[in-house]
Amino acid sequence: MRIHITRSATASYTLFTEAPKTIASETRSPKQLETAMTVSMSHRVLDAAESDQPATASALLRQLGIAHVSVEKQKVHLERWLLEHQPQRPLRISLRENGYGLLLKETDEKRAAAAGFG
């Protein structure tokens, strides 16, 4: 948009605009106003039954009520939970980063063997 102001006894202005392009393949003019919008979509398919799954190991420990017990007791409860639930990627990463990677691997192997893949 361009505004042209002329100096005279009374102020006046002329507004110059371009007509919008009618063909989608044509490029947009820099004079045309645009509204920016961001849409974010995940490429992952979430299981509805697991949608309330905690994203971190500490959140899972709190949810299970074992945040302040010994690591040995935590491993017993975590193993039981991991055999019953398929942890999503954020939780898997957090479990590995917090020292439960071997437990995660072992429960994955047990789950695979129970399903006939191991």
- For the residues of 43-74, what is the DSSP string, one character each? SSPPPGGGTT--SSHHHHHHHHT-TTS-HHHH
d(CA 48, CA 28): 42
Extract the tokens encoding 9. Answer: 């006894």
* Domain annotation covers residue 26: no
**Average pLDDT over the chain, rounded to whole?**
77
Task: Give how many domains the chain has, as a whole number.
Answer: 1
Q: For residue 70, tell me if it sits in a domain.
A: yes
> Which pLDDT tens digit goes with each residue over 18-33?
555 566 555 555 555 5
Q: Two tokens at 3?
A: 């505004």
* pTM of the entire predicted model: 0.57
pLDDT of residue 48: 46
- The whole domain housing 101 covers 53-114
Q: Give domain status of residue 9, yes or no.
A: no
Query: Percentage of the chain surpassing pLDDT 70?
Result: 56
How many CB atoms are closer than 10 A to CB 22?
6
3 state SS of 5: strand
Q: How many CB atoms lie within 10 A of CB 40?
A: 4
pLDDT in the model for residue 41: 47
Is there a domain that residue 66 lies in?
yes
Q: What is the pLDDT of residues 47-101, one digit of tens each?
A: 444 568 999 999 999 999 999 999 999 999 999 999 999 999 999 999 999 999 9
